[in-house]
Structure 1
Amino acid sequence: MKVFAEGAWSRPPKIILGIDIGTTQSAVAFAYLYPEGPQTLYNVTAWPGQEAKGEKKVPTLVYYDTDKKAVSFGAEALKPEIAEKAEDDKWQLARHFKLHLHPDAMKHKHNLRAQPLPAGISLLTIYTDFMAYLLKHTKDFFEFRIIDGQKVWEDHFRDMTMVLAHPNGWGVKEQNFLRQAAIAANYVPSSKATSHIQFLSEAQAPLHFCMFHGDLRNRLKPNTTFAICDAGESIVDTTIYGVTLARPVLELEEKQAPASVLAGSIFVDCEAERYLNRTLSGAELSSEDVEECTKAGVKDFKSVLKWSFIDETADHLIQIGPIRCKYPSSIRVRRDHMVISGPVVKGFFDACVNEIIASVDKQLEGFNVQNILLIGEFANSPYLRQVFQKRYEPRGSRILFVDNYSSPTAAAEGGVVYVRNVMTMQRSAKRAPRFSWGIETSIAFNYDDLDHRDRKTQVSTSGRTLVPGRWHGVAQKGVVIDEGDIVRTPVSLDFPSLPSELGEFKLDLYHYSRDDEPVWMRNKQGGLLPKFSKAVHIYTNLSDLRGALNPRIDRDGTLQYQLNFDICMRFGGVELVAYSEWEEERTTRTGRCTLVPTIDQA
């Protein structure tokens, strides 16, 4: 429990819940804000299976029985008696399931091979079950720690705001998935899912955490630049921020779109596991002994050597016992400990570290960065810290750390701080989109324009020949956008007579991943060009716009009706926001839009 903002709360009572579901560990933080009360943040501890430790994190694990029912979660799933029962009863373990939610482009780029999901269990089911588990024990913890907690929870839970942290590379599709899981896990009803569930990128969440915990804010001066490298379990995000104002309210802006690489700490574990398995398999051991020794070795590496390695000139020990085996002389084993040379251990790390450094180098190019804040689970590695200090401090960038930083905990806490700041109108950082957004438009066919020839054409309702496939950008990759900036796309619909029902209007929004500003998004055959992809359908129910129908006389003298409105979009926040806007009786009105992600590439 800690106070995270000065002064007493002066608004209506509010519960804010911050959640980070990490690849290997998860965390929940919350604040209960009430009039005249301190603005206090709590971390959920006392998770089943680790009550005595007071751990803020809980393993991201779910066991399923043969009936496909979730039967064990978190730290309890690691207990020896549970592991034995799971083996006897043929339970299936869901682990590292977050990797399955990464966008396909990210998985293909990094050749990611995630552990298969339990047979017959969908990813949505696993997320729903795990989120329900988090909610149950958050509720128990809240009711125990907050005075009159049961009544407070019952009174304010349904109006709770929850914020989910997610990787930088995730977008509308992944956010929609998380929102559906939260609804199914009974966090919020579907009617409140849009207003009561918010998202925060894992690049921004640590920023709010570090402003709260560290002295970073005291180092920030106007017109200076700093970077945050969040080296997490699976993803490493690097973001460069410029300070536009330090006092009285801190104003920041992303200097360019953040960079993300799949080079987190779990891939160091994978390298160690591959080495142990390969080495032991060549030692004339039984397959059972190889499997058990490898499992023991990986567990010991993750507990000890992973967080102590720094010297590549020395030999290091990994416990692979307690199995007593006769090992060949080519494998150095002393009292159940395998001796591994420093350069070999360094190789476990460098597969990831080299990729991280390449990503950070590219981000820093062209910027004078005074401070680099290295955070995340992987940042607790002395070796990674040493590599950063040796590379960047001679170049004038000071490396800063946050002691005992935990990625899931920081993201959960940062989410709570973020929502509180939004509620009190404190500004967040301006963001730069990771790709360009745009819509498909048409242009009047011009025979003299060679680029129009051989393209598919369409005839409009007014009889004009049009060439579709034209790109109209509404937000450009890497160009900083204020969170409140609104992009308006005008829409004009013609009706030959007064319609009895207006129905629904759909606008397709596309991504473009390159840095240039293209003219066309389709080739002459009508197919999407490379680097373009359909991202989301924006649906608008037109029934509320009936009062905006305007009669007009067409050129042939017939009475027709026209409906004019705007689709308004905001791209500056973590989540895409869209709504409709129109004029009716000299009054500007707004309506709700529904965003539906798509994997359709046409």
Structure 2
Amino acid sequence: MLARKRYAGSSRKLIIAIDVGTTFSGVSYSVLDPGQIPQVCGVNRFPAQEHAGGDSKIPSILLYDKQGGMRAAGAEALQDDVMDTAIQEEWAKAEWFKLHLRPRGSDSDHELSTLPPLPPNKSVVDVFSDYLAYLFNCTRTYIQETHPAGVQFWNSVKHNIDFVLTHPNGWEGRQQSQMREAAVQAGLVPGNDEGRARVSFVTEGEASLHFCLSKGLIVEGMKNGKGVIIVDAGGGTIDLSAYARTGTDANASYTEIAPARCLFKGAIMVKRNAQAYVESHLKGSKYFDRVGDIVETFDRTTKVTFKSSKTMAYIKFGGMSDVDTEFDVRGGKLAITGTEVAKFFQPTVTSISQAVLRQRTQAKPAVSSVFLVGGFAASTYLFTQLQETLAPLGFDVCRPDSHMNKAVADGGVLYVVDHHVSSRVARFTYGTIGRRVYQKKNKEHKQRNHKTCISADGVKRVNDSFISIIHAGAQVTETQEFKQSLAELYDESDDRDRYTTVSDIQVYRGHIERPEWTDVDSDNFGTLCTVSADVTAAVRKLAPRYRPDGGCYYQFDFDVVLLFGLTELKAQLSWMDNGVQKRTPAEVIYADG
């Protein structure tokens, strides 16, 4: 276990990490007092769960009335009286809403094609915002009730709170932007630049790594310079991340060694497979209208306790008088062969195993250990099947027994207070669309003669050129800068009060190692974001240039500076002014998708 440093800040601060999961969510926090070693605390009590002695996870469910008002959330939404009212007044339920955030095109297998719809007239940001506000109120109440002089303590930190929002490995800048907007809409932070900066992000894979490190769980797996793969098995997604340790024990840091993976094969897919089977099996029986109850019982009990395809599984849903042997109903229980139940799990087991093997082929150094964490890791059958599949291939598969259902929320706090990861791997290739100077002898250029143009400086150029900034699989440190030299041409007649640069950053998600043209495998190119900055002062200092036809224009040469090594893309603009480099922050605006 690595030693944690004392907090070096000058004033008390509160860190709150919120893990909004597909089916369950959690919140952890840390009080940062100057000179003190930060400790991680969990919100272990939520409304309507006190009777069970408290729980560290809360259902990701909201109920809305016909007017669009949120009427209940979390465990409160599942209380009998609330559910009765919801049925009578036809309230809409929001569940699995997190998956509506997913990047466009990420669900290539259409696993989520039948995702429950959002409530009428509600966007995913609206629902996410309402849920964040609910969790924040629960957190405030918990801290006020459990800390000495709780109200006074809260008042001392309420204006100095930083939030960490966790998300699946597959989420990108667009999803982070939407989550930040939801945090503003929920009132967690103000909508100005200072407020938005108080919201940061970490992937579920990286959060899980920090949790494992804090518990000393993966030290053995990283001996002899080898790497580990962390499989965070959640309700909606399976997130795979590979890491290796660098440096000595006292100054150890951790580097990502393969592109992170995100699979839509979480626990809800096992539930969905079970539902399809039960509906088919009970069709025509008098118990068909009980399918919903049977599937819910399977999800709470059988799915977790199921161990072997060689034994029968039983789902209790009624009393002793409920019998129909034709449909395998005996004594209020539906009997299902272990072989059938195993089929519910098989797509997930296969997908995880294949993803682990792919990460091993991409990782340097070699990987020999796999750590299964997350709420779905509680499934004994999932764990044993991964062991049986991966052990013969040289993997040591482990399932740490240490409250792994809170790994991501705790890890979100630890990402801030420990921050062990020093470099990450680019998942895709990023660049810009440019115009190359036309070369008569270049075969690629000749093929695109119909795509040429004469630019403002009178030079013939080829359109549809892809100019790479960083390639997929590249390992990038947090402070490493990537520059793309660009030029903005302004016509003399283009008289403006304000000049801005607008540069589109492109992403390529295909399999070409060094893409050069956007008209090759064009379906896998897309706009990631737009980098924009006000450069009025710089443009007004430019000397005029003249085209061959005598026309006047101004050329602003600059570099777009990108930092890909952080958990969130950052951008700046850089240019030379009389031999002196100038810089300005740039706004990153994400495209839809």
Question: What is the TM-score when the length of structure 2 is the normalising length?
Answer: 0.91
1:435 matched to 2:428? The reply is yes
1:104-503 to structure 2, matched below 5 A, reads 104-112=104-112, 113-191=114-192, 192-217=194-219, 219-221=221-223, 223-283=225-285, 285=286, 289-291=287-289, 293-322=290-319, 325=322, 327=324, 329-365=325-361, 368-407=366-405, 409-422=406-419, 427-453=420-446, 454-495=449-490, 501-503=497-499
> Is the 8 Å Cα contact of residues 221 and 227 (structure 2) preserved in structure 1?
no
In structure 1, what is the Cα distance between the partners aligned to 2:443 and 2:369? 52
Name the structure 2 match of 1:551.
543
Provide closer, same or farther for how the CA distance between residues 217 and 463 of structure 1 changes in structure 2, counting only shifts above 3 A: same
User: 1:196-228 CA deviation, whole Å, 9 max, x = no partner?
Assistant: 111111111100011112432355336222211
- How far does residue 272 in structure 1 lie from its aligned partner after superposition? 1.3
> Is the 8 Å Cα contact of residues 502 and 546 (structure 1) preserved in structure 2?
no
In structure 1, what is the Cα distance between the partners aligned to 2:334 and 2:551? 89
User: 1:149-175 CA deviation, whole Å, 9 max, x = no partner?
Assistant: 434434433332211111111101111
In structure 2, what is the Cα distance between the partners aligned to 1:553 and 1:532? 34
Provide closer, same or farther for how the CA distance between residues 499 and 153 of structure 1 changes in structure 2, counting only shifts above 3 A: farther
Provide closer, same or farther for how the CA distance between residues 252 and 97 of structure 1 changes in structure 2, counting only shifts above 3 A: same
Q: Secondary structure at the match of 2:205?
A: coil
Name the structure 1 match of 2:88.
88
User: 1:546-567 CA deviation, whole Å, 9 max, x = no partner?
Assistant: 68x3436658899875533321
| Aligned residue type for 1:107 | D
In structure 2, what is the Cα distance between the partners aligned to 1:448 and 1:546? 36
Greater mean deviation of Cα atoms: 433-442 or 140-149: 140-149
> Is the 8 Å Cα contact of residues 4 and 417 (structure 1) preserved in structure 2?
no
- How far does residue 309 in structure 1 lie from its aligned partner after superposition? 1.1
User: 1:286-311 CA deviation, whole Å, 9 max, x = no partner?
Assistant: xxx523x2222122212222111112
User: 1:504-549 CA deviation, whole Å, 9 max, x = no partner?
Assistant: 21110111112410221136xxxx82311111111112245468x3
Greater mean deviation of Cα atoms: 492-501 or 248-257: 492-501
> Is the 8 Å Cα contact of residues 569 and 577 (structure 1) preserved in structure 2?
yes
> Is the 8 Å Cα contact of residues 6 and 38 (structure 2) preserved in structure 1?
yes
| Aligned residue type for 1:490 | S
Q: Secondary structure at the match of 2:367?
A: coil
Greater mean deviation of Cα atoms: 353-362 or 96-105: 353-362
Provide closer, same or farther for how the CA distance between residues 444 and 352 of structure 1 changes in structure 2, counting only shifts above 3 A: same
| Unpaired runs of at least 5, structure 2 | none
Name the structure 2 match of 1:66.
66
Name the structure 1 match of 2:100.
100
- How far does residue 148 in structure 1 lie from its aligned partner after superposition? 4.1
1:571 matched to 2:564? The reply is yes
> Is the 8 Å Cα contact of residues 17 and 409 (structure 2) preserved in structure 1?
yes
- How far does residue 429 in structure 1 lie from its aligned partner after superposition? 4.2
In structure 2, what is the Cα distance between the partners aligned to 1:464 and 1:312? 70
Name the structure 2 match of 1:44.
43
> Is the 8 Å Cα contact of residues 222 and 246 (structure 1) preserved in structure 2?
no
User: 1:230-260 CA deviation, whole Å, 9 max, x = no partner?
Assistant: 1211211222223222422222222221222
In structure 1, what is the Cα distance between the partners aligned to 2:392 and 2:590? 45
> Is the 8 Å Cα contact of residues 233 and 266 (structure 2) preserved in structure 1?
yes
Provide closer, same or farther for how the CA distance between residues 413 and 543 of structure 1 changes in structure 2, counting only shifts above 3 A: farther
> Is the 8 Å Cα contact of residues 199 and 574 (structure 1) preserved in structure 2?
yes
> Is the 8 Å Cα contact of residues 456 and 547 (structure 2) preserved in structure 1?
no
Q: Secondary structure at the match of 2:504?
A: strand
Greater mean deviation of Cα atoms: 340-349 or 587-596: 587-596
> Is the 8 Å Cα contact of residues 111 and 264 (structure 2) preserved in structure 1?
no
| Aligned residue type for 2:82 | I
| Aligned residue type for 1:259 | R
Greater mean deviation of Cα atoms: 538-547 or 19-28: 538-547
| Aligned residue type for 1:35 | P
Name the structure 1 match of 2:33.
34
In structure 2, what is the Cα distance between the partners aligned to 1:555 and 1:266? 63
| Aligned residue type for 2:145 | F
| Unpaired runs of at least 5, structure 1 | none
- How far does residue 63 in structure 1 lie from its aligned partner after superposition? 0.3
> Is the 8 Å Cα contact of residues 551 and 559 (structure 1) preserved in structure 2?
no
Q: Secondary structure at the match of 1:455?
A: helix
> Is the 8 Å Cα contact of residues 544 and 591 (structure 1) preserved in structure 2?
no
> Is the 8 Å Cα contact of residues 375 and 401 (structure 1) preserved in structure 2?
yes
In structure 1, what is the Cα distance between the partners aligned to 2:506 and 2:43? 40
> Is the 8 Å Cα contact of residues 63 and 77 (structure 2) preserved in structure 1?
yes
Q: Secondary structure at the match of 1:365?
A: helix
Provide closer, same or farther for how the CA distance between residues 78 and 593 of structure 1 changes in structure 2, counting only shifts above 3 A: same
In structure 2, what is the Cα distance between the partners aligned to 1:138 and 1:499? 53
The alignment of Structure 1 onto Structure 2 pairs a total of residues equal to 582
Greater mean deviation of Cα atoms: 508-517 or 23-32: 508-517
Q: Secondary structure at the match of 1:105?
A: coil
Greater mean deviation of Cα atoms: 229-238 or 396-405: 396-405
In structure 2, what is the Cα distance between the partners aligned to 1:290 and 1:555? 78
| Aligned residue type for 1:105 | G
In structure 1, what is the Cα distance between the partners aligned to 2:244 and 2:450? 45
In structure 1, what is the Cα distance between the partners aligned to 2:469 and 2:100? 30
> Is the 8 Å Cα contact of residues 222 and 243 (structure 1) preserved in structure 2?
no
User: 1:162-195 CA deviation, whole Å, 9 max, x = no partner?
Assistant: 1111111110111111011011001111222442
| Aligned residue type for 2:163 | M
- How far does residue 588 in structure 1 lie from its aligned partner after superposition? 4.0
Provide closer, same or farther for how the CA distance between residues 4 and 150 of structure 1 changes in structure 2, counting only shifts above 3 A: farther
Q: Secondary structure at the match of 2:265?
A: coil
User: 1:92-151 CA deviation, whole Å, 9 max, x = no partner?
Assistant: 111111121112212233432211112222222111111111111111222233344434
Q: Secondary structure at the match of 1:108?
A: coil
| Aligned residue type for 1:435 | F
> Is the 8 Å Cα contact of residues 31 and 416 (structure 1) preserved in structure 2?
yes
Provide closer, same or farther for how the CA distance between residues 6 and 354 of structure 1 changes in structure 2, counting only shifts above 3 A: closer
| Aligned residue type for 2:486 | V
> Is the 8 Å Cα contact of residues 442 and 470 (structure 1) preserved in structure 2?
yes
> Is the 8 Å Cα contact of residues 7 and 37 (structure 2) preserved in structure 1?
yes
Provide closer, same or farther for how the CA distance between residues 539 and 78 of structure 1 changes in structure 2, counting only shifts above 3 A: same
Superposition RMSD in Å: 2.6
Provide closer, same or farther for how the CA distance between residues 51 and 503 of structure 1 changes in structure 2, counting only shifts above 3 A: farther
In structure 1, what is the Cα distance between the partners aligned to 2:283 and 2:135? 40
In structure 2, what is the Cα distance between the partners aligned to 1:429 and 1:590? 25
Greater mean deviation of Cα atoms: 183-192 or 103-112: 103-112
- How far does residue 383 in structure 1 lie from its aligned partner after superposition? 1.0
Q: Secondary structure at the match of 1:442?
A: strand
| Aligned residue type for 1:42 | C
